[in-house]
């Protein structure tokens, strides 16, 4: 039975990707989404997550939920195999065309092997029209 990891980092950004060298790139970290009108599409949204104190195989799942705790989107399919319990292990989840139905509070809920590890809030705000 794999250990339940400790969360070291959970960032929301415009783009998250890994270079061929193995280095992670996190561009445009935020906790608020400003849009002109709703419903809105967020064309590129990434999550960067770092865990520690983990050993074994893990299935990653992330749910995008609204304030009423309804699942609006689901991201899964990432598999981690961690050999060194002392290592910090980072991974990214990149989304495209994430639908944001209305202004308000939302959050990303992170699961490893169907165990809730943590969640991160994000707020959708309507921009004021430019006069």
CATH number, domain with residue 71: 2.60.40.2550
**Rounded CA separation 64/126 (Å):** 19
Tens digit of pLDDT at every position of the chain (131 positions): 678 899 999 999 999 999 999 999 999 999 999 999 999 999 999 999 999 999 999 999 999 999 999 999 999 999 999 999 999 999 999 999 999 999 999 999 999 999 999 999 999 999 876 66
Is residue 93 assigned to a domain? Answer: yes
Q: Which domain holds residue 59?
A: 6-126
Q: Which of 24, 33, 37, 28 is nearest to 108 (CA)?
A: 33
Number of domains in the chain: 1
Structural domain contains residue 131: no
pTM of the full structure = 0.91
**For residue 39, cis peptide bond before it (omega within 30 degrees of 0):** yes
| CA 64 vs CA 41, 68, 70, 83, 98: distances in Å | 14, 12, 8, 29, 9
Q: Are 55 and 81 in contact (CB under 8 A)?
A: no
What is the rounded distance in angstroms from the CA atom of residue 18 to the CA atom of residue 49? 12
Residue 1 forms part of a structural domain? no
pLDDT value, residue 36: 92
79 falls within a domain: yes
């Amino acid at each position: 039975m794999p250990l339940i990891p400790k969360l070291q980092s959970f960032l929301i950004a415009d783009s998250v990707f890994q270079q061929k060298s193995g280095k992670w790139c996190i561009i445009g970290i935020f906790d608020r989404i400003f849009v002109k009108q709703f419903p809105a599409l967020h064309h590129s949204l990434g999550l960067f997550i770092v865990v520690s104190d983990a050993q074994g195989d893990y299935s990653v799942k992330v749910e995008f939920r609204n304030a009423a705790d309804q699942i609006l989107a689901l991201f899964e399919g990432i598999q981690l195999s961690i050999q060194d319990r002392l290592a910090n292990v980072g991974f990214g989840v990149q989304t495209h065309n994430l639908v944001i139905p209305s202004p308000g509070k939302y959050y990303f809920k992170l699961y490893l092997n169907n165990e809730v590890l943590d969640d991160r809030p994000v707020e959708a705000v309507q921009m004021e029209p430019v006069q």
